[in-house]
Chains A and B, each alone.
Chain A
Amino acid sequence: MALFGVPTRRVRIVVQTSLFLLWAILIYSTHYPMQSWIATHIPVSLFLRIDPLVATVIMGGMRVGVTILLLGLVTLGVSMLLGRVFCGWVCPLGATFDFYSWIVKKIGVRHHGPSPWWFRLKYYILGAILIFAVFGSTSPLIGIDPVVLITRVAAAVLMPFGRVEGGLTWNIGDKPHFMGHFIDLSTLALFILIMGYTTKVSRIWCRAVCPLGAYLATLSRHSILRRETDQCVHCNICSASCPTGAIDFTNAEIYTESECIKCFICSEECPVDANLFALRLPFKANDKHGQVVELDRRSFVGTAVTTLVAVPFARIDSGTPGSAKKLLRPPMSRDESDFLSSCIRCGECMKACPTGTLKPAGLEHGLRSLWTPVMTPLEAPCKEGCNACSVACPTDAILKYPVEKKYTFKAGTAVFNPAACISYTEGKFCSECVRVCPTDAITFKKGWEPNPSGPQHKWGLSGAGSEEVAPIGKTPTRPLHVNFDMCVGCGACENSCNQIVFGSPAMVTTSQGRTVPTTMPKKS
């Protein structure tokens, strides 16, 4: 089978490779200040925006038409017409599997064959995700959508190695004030597990787990691009070479349309050119060549009931001091409920963050917050004049805003604890928090300074970080309190304080007042 005189499989490989390279370039370009040519001309989250499952879950779950996700509906339409071409031609995780399979084949490992008995699992996962969306919520299972997963692998597992100047860390809070780059162990373990199983069965993720694959499979039930095998000699070469096990092993004339990813490997492998793809009217899904997947009703009802029970439970957080409601989210994030409904756990914001303050949440904040971005001021503050996470976010969970409007709404509020401040407990001069605050939200009382004739800093403070003890009878310059209306929750004070008082900073950034407008003077 040929397209413009070139075998269709080769055309697919060229297209698939080109799109994978585009995805990799876009991921690489997702970093502050997002001013590269590619980042300014193509949305860095393009592949997530054309993901129809993301579009369905986010727009359907939030009941909001997110403009940038409407491209996903185009993919939805294409899949209804041509089948799962997205899986075989576009999906970057699928391209990774195909490349991996090519290597495995080169070293002589045979891993094509029938699908495992549990290949229908993906349909039940899809059902759970859609039921969550019907009830206005987003299941954490959206985090295993293939485009989301491969993006998170790149953002939270691979890319930190590219920024090793600050070192690598495996646990949030391991090393206070350490500008390390967090590696998400859960995503890494999941990816290794998938690739390990792929060595045994090709595209096992696409066959049995992928919720997007299941969604496209349901859409492609009546697609018009169908396989025809009128001249089949039943050599079963196509059955053995099909990467998704779509072709019957006992009768190679029959295939399952919803499992076919239109990779055209069967066409090229066929010794008698009997595997042809032709356009046919989509009236009969189950005909002499094609068969449809039949789900077990009992399992489906079981999935539905389990999900309905799980919906309220998923909203429960751990109740610890750092529980979900108190998580510090990126600036201009939606309120917590809407944020959790619109965040797909892709990690684009973490990749874009120049300071590395954004880290993926673990299970300690509840199942619903798994893999969502959390600000960790103890590690690094939010950078002034930066809106990279907002630009990178594919679903508007972090709302779009111009840089000059960054501090018009609060992300949180710093709380001052004098009992942990060395200017109160030890009488030492510090005032670092006052210096670093970008919005001048910390009021202070001027007092003794170690070097009043030295270089003057903001507010006339001198002797930065000297930690000299004030003479008896004198009190050093010390912070008094944080102005709620002016603090934006960037975490700069907490980060700078921690550099002096290890372990228990006197300034702790909380999510109090999030989404509340500030009254500070207009400045970026």
Chain B
Amino acid sequence: MKKTNRANPLSSAVKILILFFSVSVHHVSADELVSLDDPAPSASGAPALESLDGTAAVETTPSSGGDAAVNLDDGKSEDSFNPYTFSRNPLWGLLPVFGLILLGLHLLPVPKRKPKNKIDQAKRFFRGISGEGTQTGVKAPIKAAGTRADRAPIEDDKTPIPQATDTQGDKN
């Protein structure tokens, strides 16, 4: 049987993670770079000398830290500010598509529902609480006294009852 030298996917993933992590750790941020425009710090840590006219004198001797990172772009990092650079990702275009799909759901046919006119039952209920008639078929408890007591009960044949059969109105 032929042996195949297949790498373990778990160990590969760990290696990639370690590699990624080490790269992240050794990343040098822009703030840490030393620009040639700025006066280099002296080895003793003393402040930069000032000339007689008040301007800071630039120390010409190289700093002792030979392995310090040096910015070779001649101080142009200050000019790197550019808010106009951005990257597009076409996947964001799926957001309005998602909205359109949701909207499309409302195009699906809805089974028709028979309108139930239960106004008579309501009338019987209000006759019951106003003492004008007999309350039948209503088992729900009425709210605490006083909450709706001052509300005028619906009277027979005088209260206009909306004739609409659909609260959503006619279709466009």
Contact = CB atoms under 8 A, between A and B. Distances in A.
Contact of A118 (B92, B109, B169): B169
Contact of B167 (A133, A256, A295, A334): A256
B140 A126 contact: no
Contacts of A123: 103, 106
Given A115-B168, A233-B125, A515-B84, A56 B107 contact: no
B105 A218 contact: yes
Interface stretch (B27-35, B58-66, B111-119): B111-119
Nearest to A297: B107
B138 A233 contact: yes
A63 B141 contact: no
Nearest to A220: B102
Interface string A207-247: 00000001100110100000000011111110100000111
A272 B141 contact: yes
Contact of B164 (A59, A124, A249, A409): A249
B9 interface: no
A515 B89 CA distance: 22
Contact of B169 (A64, A114, A252): A114
Contacts of A237: 151
Interface in A276-312: 286, 291-297, 299-300
A399 interface: yes
A81 interface: no
A308 to B, nearest CB: 12
A251 B168 contact: no
B99 A218 contact: yes
A62 B88 contact: yes
Interface in B22-45: none
Interface size class of A (residues with CB under 8 A): 35 or more
B95 interface: yes
A131 B100 contact: yes
A249 B100 CA distance: 30
Contact of A293 (B98, B138, B168): B168
A130 B100 contact: yes
B140 A274 contact: yes
A272 B140 contact: yes
Interface SS, B side: loop
B89 to A, nearest CB: 6
Given A248-B167, A256-B167, A292 B140 contact: no
Contacts of B79: 408, 517
B32 to A, nearest CB: 20
Interface string B127-144: 001000000001111110
Nearest to A248: B167
A130 B140 contact: no
A446 interface: no
Given A218-B102, A235-B122, A300-B107, A117 B169 contact: yes
Given A64-B89, A127-B100, A271-B147, A254 B172 contact: no
A349 interface: no
Contact of B88 (A64, A115, A272, A295): A64
B77 interface: no
A410 to B, nearest CB: 11
A474 interface: no
B53 interface: no
Contact of A134 (B93, B122, B171): B93
B122 A233 contact: yes
Contact of B96 (A133, A293, A399, A408): A133
Contacts of B96: 56-57, 60-61, 130-131, 133-134
B142 A219 contact: no
A175 interface: no
A63 B93 contact: yes
Contacts of A136: 93
A273 interface: yes
Given A120-B172, A249-B164, A126 B142 contact: no
B86 interface: yes
B78 interface: yes
Contacts of A215: 99
B162 A249 contact: yes
A400 B129 CA distance: 65
B121 A56 contact: no
A102 interface: no
Given A117-B170, A221-B102, A401 B83 contact: yes
Nearest to B126: A235
Given A134-B97, A271-B142, A334 B84 contact: yes
A332 interface: yes
B107 A63 contact: no
Given A130-B96, A235-B125, A251 B116 contact: yes
Nearest to B111: A286
Contact of A294 (B91, B95, B110, B143): B110
B121 A116 contact: no
A113 interface: yes
A119 B115 CA distance: 20
B99 A234 contact: no
Contacts of A65: 89, 92
Given A126-B99, A399-B84, A256 B143 contact: no
Contact of B107 (A61, A249, A295): A295
A126 B103 CA distance: 8
B113 A299 contact: no
A80 to B, nearest CB: 9
Nearest to A207: B169
Given A127-B100, A130-B103, A236 B170 contact: no
A60 B93 contact: yes
Contacts of B138: 233, 272
A84 to B, nearest CB: 14
B6 interface: no
Interface of A: 55-57, 59-65, 113-121, 123-124, 126-127, 130-131, 133-134, 136, 214-215, 218-219, 221, 231-237, 239, 245-252, 254, 256, 270-274, 286, 291-297, 299-300, 332, 334-335, 399-401, 405, 408-409, 515, 517, 522
Given A63-B93, A64-B87, 4 more contacts: A130-B103, A231-B140, A256-B168, A334-B84
